Copies of this chain bind each other. A is one copy, B any other.
Amino acid sequence: MATLGFIEYSDSSPEVRAVYDDIMRTRNTDWINNFWKALAHDPASLRRTWQSVKEIMAPGALDPLANEMIYLAVSASNQCGYCIASHTAAARKAGMTDSMLSELMAVVGMANESNRLASGYQVEIDEQFKPR
């Protein structure tokens, strides 16, 4: 179920299939999750989104586990059901333990609380914290 339905691998055009193949190769899996199958009706969006995700989530100054945990933290904060489910799975695959998940959620909760206290009390930014 998705607005435009899913495009399965077996029904995909060469352009879409090339992206699907790269997703499976990069992630070392043998299936494509619904997010990509829903996007595939617009091959340009599929390609562009995948290229960006691939580039951003690759190892760099942050390792893949850190990237996945930040992704999950944002998704939990935004309350995106699909994204919480898929990135909980991805973060676990990258090494997140149950304890790490619990601590991540505690930080997400606390940040959401203190964000509203800071804004709600109209707290002025300290000189020490201002960017140069």
Contacts and interface: CB of A to CB of B under 8 A. Distances in A.
Interface residues of A, number: 83
Interface string A25-66: 000000101110011011011001101110111001110001
Main secondary structure of the interface of A (DSSP, over half): helix
B109 A113 contact: yes
Given A60-B99, A121-B38, A70 B126 contact: no
Residue of A51, A53, A111, A128 with most partner-chain B CB within 10 A: A111
Contacts of A55: 44, 48
Nearest to A119: B79
A111 B5 CA distance: 22
A102 to B, nearest CB: 4
A73 B112 CA distance: 11
A122 to B, nearest CB: 5
Interface of A: 1-5, 31, 33-35, 38-39, 41-42, 44-45, 48-49, 51-53, 55-57, 60-62, 66-67, 69-71, 73-89, 97-126, 128-132
Contacts of A75: 111, 115
Contact of A132 (B5, B60, B115): B5
